Amino acid sequence: MTKQGAFIHEIEEQKQLQINGVTDQVLAHLRATNMENRVNGSARSPITSTDQNGNTVVPVTNLSTGTQTNVVIQMNNGNVTRVVQ
Ligand SMILES: [Zn+2]
C-alpha cells in the first residue's frame, strides 16, 4: 500500500459517489480499489478483517511476484497511528 494509492482511492471513491451518481457505497469502494491497484502495481483485497488487537488487516498481493502479505493498520481514536507492511 502507498500514500499515492490511498489518495487515488479516496478521489475515485468520491468521484463515483458525487459525480458518477453511484449510490452503492460498496460498488464505489470496489471501483476505488481497482484504481488504487493500478497505481500501486499490486492487488489489495477490498475486503479487510480485524485482528485480536482491533487492528485492520488488509491482504495485498504483489503482482510481479505473486506474493501475498498482510498490511496491518493500527488505529487510535479513529486516527491511523502505524502501518506495518
Ligand atoms: Zn473505499
Dist. CA 66 → ligand 1 center (Å): 23
CA distances from 67 to 12, 18, 42, 63, 64 (A): 26, 35, 10, 8, 8
Predicted confidence at residue 72, as pLDDT, reads 93
Predicted confidence at residue 30, as pLDDT, reads 92
Dist. CA 9 → ligand 1 center (Å): 6
> Band of the pLDDT at 45, cuts 50, 70, 90?
confident
Dist. CA 36 → ligand 1 center (Å): 10
The mean pLDDT of 45-54, rounded to a whole number, is 90
Question: Is 43 in a helix, a strand, or coil?
Answer: strand
Predicted confidence at residue 62, as pLDDT, reads 86
Predicted confidence at residue 50, as pLDDT, reads 94
Nearest alpha carbon to residue 32 among 53, 4, 13, 15: 13
Dist. CA 57 → ligand 1 center (Å): 14
Dist. CA 75 → ligand 1 center (Å): 17
The mean pLDDT of 39-50, rounded to a whole number, is 90
Dist. CA 47 → ligand 1 center (Å): 10
